[in-house]
């Protein structure tokens, strides 16, 4: 009997595919657990620029066991089918697997199979139609990876030297940061203007009460007082009444961009949370592939949609629609995001998954339904004698729900107005004014930034979530509610790039480079020439900036604020926690203040030598999470004293170095636990260790990693993310 090895990316996807294939004797489904090769961290080894931008790939240590298993299974199988995701990254993963297997002496060439939904019919059809790996797609992904590495390392290296150690820049993250910083500058430059909103509470002859608003918003108090005066004295009446029937069409099925925006506005999901949830739904076979620019629906899907609409809402509400894809370079996934099985109204194992699935189900059905019909009414009133502006109120009432039956959350609030006719008299109950100020443009939310990036052609669907996550993790932006606000560090980095590399972080350049990558994917452009055309001038520009002075002074502080030590003027500098005020005579004087003017205590020697470098003194410093003791030679020496004052020990020995203890620490993402011998030992976990070792039996033997505290429903789990016992709730289901 023929035996086939099918390789996918994730264990969850592997289980779902295996479930549909059924015959375990004919098919083995295994997961590569993402990429099995990557560029090394050492940039000198990563890319051979002179040889034609040839990347050098390495197998990460934690993937060697997976690779070895795949090689053994491949040799034991009659054919190898690579069923990685249907996009460029999936094509690249398939190629890497194929290269490794063939390099190990596999005689049969692995074949590529593609499906956009994990259903039995889609998998069977894909197996019947295997193909070779699409080298154009693979090379396009490789070009993106190489470009991102070259830009990231070269720009980041320069920023380390000229701004501050540890900062970074990126080909796509930096334009995104610039957009946020530019909006912040608009807000800072904005000069608010005072205006007044005037409202009149009126009563009809049938004693119905309603409020109308002045059609003009005066900018001066004299005009306001005149309107109020005439309004109080005058006799009011209805001067106009308009009722208009309008149609409200449904929106297109979801793309990657629109699902991120809608999930943010309805549920408050971040783009990364939305994509993480959608990935789980896809891998479980509930929805089609979630990275797509396309709004298309297959003929088979349309037939199922019509059947479902007919059963749920009636055949009269069916209206076939075709939506034009907005992206000029719609990516490889040929369909919009839709349910795999339309008879399922609900799917998913978590609350997030259920919410997102319902949203997808509702949007997909609504996209093929009739328009909603809404009656919009506008009442206009004024005084019989006078010269004041009209007062108006708008009402709306749904007269035919149409597609809103499928997506009721999309309904706008109805506003009912009293029944009146033109020239009807009205009684004034109250007329009043409210002073307001014009508001600056709002800061971008994550959903708003996704929309803006798509509009400007920066990035692609698969990159939006990672772009936003990167600038947040780097500390370049922070969230205030849902709004994204640039930090001091983000503003300084963006200004440095705008002043020195404006071309490379501009909208036009970034979008043009994305188009070139799309041309590589379609076979219209060469890999080497594209990278040469970009990197030759870019590397020269990097070298030309090597001699510019380091940015140590961001401007003078307020003249009223003086150095707390010597009394001289202060300047603004950038530290790890943002901007602060430093004495202008530094390093002769070490006086410092917060950006608000509060005095900062400098490092204080405690009278002990550093045990690591033997040269420095141990000093007490004040960090963002409180006081700690370190070496005076920081950052050359990274010694941190392990004392009861700055660490809470868990009492659990570190299983890696054997002589340290797991201690509580606080980072930018909150409390975590790591070895007390850091940085010599970098063993770390995100929750408190319980003291037990994981006894899960892996192929290489017992796992042995520390167990850590979990949640109420999962009280304990393995700290090793690669161990199946890291998710014990899934083991129970198996």
* pLDDT tens track for 463-490: 888 999 999 988 899 988 889 999 988 9
- The yes-or-no verdict on residue 631 having pLDDT over 70 is yes
pLDDT at 635 over 80: no
Q: Do 167 and 315 sit in the same domain of this protein? A: no
Q: What is the mean pLDDT of the chain?
A: 90
Specify whether 180 is located in the same domain as 38.
no
Q: Is residue 617 part of a domain?
A: yes
In a domain, 161, yes or no: yes
Q: Is residue 560 part of a domain?
A: no
CB 340 within 8 A of CB 290: no
Q: What residue has token string 């490789």?
A: 142
Tokens describing residue 261: 């925006």
**DSSP per residue over 142-181, as a string?**
HHHHHHHHHHHHHHHHHHHHHT-TT----TTHHHHHHHHH
Encode pLDDT of 545-577 as tens digits: 988 888 878 888 988 999 998 999 999 988 877
Q: Let me know: does 3 contact 26? Beta carbons within 8 Å.
A: yes
Residue 549 lies in a domain: no
Q: What is the mean pLDDT of residues 276-300?
A: 93
CATH of the domain at 497: 1.10.460.10
Predicted confidence (pLDDT) per residue in 491-506, tens digit? 999 999 999 999 999 9
**Hey, which bits of 51-123 come out as E strands?**
54-55, 79-82, 111-112
Does residue 557 belong to any structural domain of this protein? Answer: no
pLDDT for position 645: 45
Domain assignment present for 563: no
Do 123 and 159 share a domain, yes or no? no
Give the active site residue among 27, 153, 282, 289: 289
Alpha helices by DSSP H, listed for 564-694, are: none
> 155 lies in which domain range?
144-189+443-544
Answer yes or no: do 8 and 121 share one domain.
Answer: yes
Regarding whether 347 and 301 lie in a shared domain, the answer is: yes
358 and 296 in one domain?
Answer: yes
**DSSP track, 713-726:** SS-EEES-TTSGGG
Give the number of domains in the chain.
Answer: 5
Could you say which DSSP state residue 549 is in? P
Lowest mean pLDDT among 92-101, 582-591, 601-610, 634-643: 634-643
One domain, residues 406 and 468: no
Domain boundary among 366, 400, 418: 366
In the residue annotation, 504 being an active-site residue is answered as no
Identify whether residues 534 and 412 lie together within a single domain.
no
334-358 average pLDDT score: 94
Confidence of residue 646 (pLDDT cuts 50, 70, 90): very low
Q: In this structure, what CATH number is given to the domain that contains residue 8?
A: 3.40.50.140
Residues 670 and 642 in one domain: yes
Q: Considering the domain boundaries, does residue 483 fall inside one?
A: yes
Q: Tell which of 333, 366, 399 closes a domain.
A: 366
Based on the fold, state whether residues 243 and 392 are members of the same structural domain. yes
pLDDT of the residue at 127: 95
d(CA 493, CA 488): 9
Boundary-marking domain end, from 508, 526, 544: 544
604: in domain: yes
Examine the domain organization and report whether 265 and 359 are in the same domain: yes
Q: What is the pLDDT of residue 273?
A: 92
Q: What is the CATH number of the domain that holds 265?
A: 1.10.290.10
What is the token pair recorded at 269? 């999901």
H-assigned helices in 545-689: none
Same domain, 606 and 683: yes
Q: Domain with 424 in it: what CATH number? A: 2.70.20.10
């Amino acid at each position: 009997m023929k035996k086939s090895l099918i390789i996918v990316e994730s264990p969850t996807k592997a289980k779902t595919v295996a479930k549909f294939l059924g015959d375990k004797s004919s098919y083995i489904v295994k997961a590569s657990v993402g990429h099995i090769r990557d560029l090394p961290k050492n940039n000198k080894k990563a890319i051979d620029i002179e040889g034609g931008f040839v990347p050098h790939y390495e197998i990460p240590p934690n993937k060697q066991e997976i690779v070895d298993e795949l090689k053994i299974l491949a040799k034991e199988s009659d054919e190898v089918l690579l069923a990685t995701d249907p996009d460029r990254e999936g094509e690249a993963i398939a190629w890497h697997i194929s290269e490794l297997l063939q390099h190990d002496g596999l005689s049969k060439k692995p074949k590529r199979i593609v499906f956009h939904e994990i259903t039995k019919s889609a998998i069977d059809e894909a197996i019947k139609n295997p193909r070779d790996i699409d080298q154009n797609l693979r090379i396009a992904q490789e070009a993106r990876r190489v470009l991102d590495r070259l830009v990231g390392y070269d720009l980041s290296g320069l920023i380390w030297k000229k701004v501050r150690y540890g900062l970074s820049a990126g080909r796509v993250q930096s334009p995104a940061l610039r957009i946020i910083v530019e909006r912040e500058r608009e807000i800072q430059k904005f000069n608010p203007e005072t205006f007044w909103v005037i409202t009149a509470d009126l009563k009809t002859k049938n004693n119905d009460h309603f409020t109308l608003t002045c059609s003009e918003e005066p900018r001066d108090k004299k005009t306001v007082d005149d309107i109020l005066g005439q309004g109080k004295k005058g006799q009011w009446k209805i001067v106009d009444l308009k009722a208009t029937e309008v149609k409200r069409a449904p929106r297109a099925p979801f793309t990657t961009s629109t699902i991120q925006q809608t999930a943010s506005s309805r549920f408050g999901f971040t783009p990364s949370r939305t994509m993480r949830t959608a990935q789980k739904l896809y891998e479980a076979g509930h929805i089609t592939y979630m990275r797509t620019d396309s709004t298309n629906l297959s003929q088979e899907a349309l037939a199922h949609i019509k059947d479902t609409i007919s059963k749920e809402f009636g055949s009269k509400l069916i209206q076939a629609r075709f939506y034009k894809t907005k992206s000029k370079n719609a990516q490889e996934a040929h369909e919009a995001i839709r349910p795999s099985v339309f008879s399922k109204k609900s799917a998913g194992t978590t609350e997030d998954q259920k919410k997102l699935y319902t949203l997808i189900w509702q949007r997909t059905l609504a996209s093929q339904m009739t328009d909603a019909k809404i009656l919009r009414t506008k009442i206009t009133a004024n005084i019989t004698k006078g010269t004041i502006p009209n007062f108006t109120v708008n009402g709306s009432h749904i007269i035919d729900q149409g597609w809103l039956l499928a997506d009721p959350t999309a309904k706008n609030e109805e506003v009912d107005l009293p029944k009146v006719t033109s020239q009807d008299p009205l009684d004034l109950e109250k007329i009043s004014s409210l002073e307001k100020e014009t508001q600056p443009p709002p800061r971008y939310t994550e959903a708003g930034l996704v929309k803006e990036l798509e509009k400007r052609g920066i990035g692609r669907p698969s990159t939006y979530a990672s772009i936003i996550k990167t600038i947040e993790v780097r500390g370049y932006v922070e969230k205030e509610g849902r709004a994204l606000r640039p930090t001091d560090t983000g503003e300084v980095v963006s200004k440095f790039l705008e002043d020195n590399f404006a071309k490379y972080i501009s909208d036009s350049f970034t979008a043009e480079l994305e188009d070139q990558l799309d041309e590589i994917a379609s076979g219209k452009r060469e890999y080497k020439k594209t990278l040469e055309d970009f990197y030759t001038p870019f590397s020269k520009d990097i070298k030309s900036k090597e001699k510019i002075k380091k940015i140590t002074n961001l401007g003078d502080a307020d003249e009223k604020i003086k150095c707390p030590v010597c009394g001289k003027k202060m300047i603004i500098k950038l530290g790890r926690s943002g901007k602060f005020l430093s004495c202008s005579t530094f390093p002769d004087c070490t006086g410092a203040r917060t950006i608000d003017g509060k005095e900062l205590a400098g490092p204080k020697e405690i009278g002990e030598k550093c045990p690591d470098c033997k040269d420095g003194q141990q000093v007490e410093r004040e960090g963002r999470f409180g006081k700690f003791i370190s070496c005076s030679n920081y950052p050359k020496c990274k010694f941190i004293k392990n004392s009861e004052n700055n660490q809470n020990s868990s009492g659990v020995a570190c299983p890696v170095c054997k002589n340290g203890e797991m201690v509580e620490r606080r980072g930018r993402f909150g409390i975590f636990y790591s070895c007390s011998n850091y940085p010599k030992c970098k063993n770390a976990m995100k929750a408190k260790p319980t003291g037990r070792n994981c006894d899960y039996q892996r192929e290489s033997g017992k796992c042995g990693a520390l167990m850590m505290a979990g949640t109420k429903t999962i009280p304990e789990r393995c700290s090793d993310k690669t161990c199946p016992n890291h998710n014990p709730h899934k083991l129970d289901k198996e």
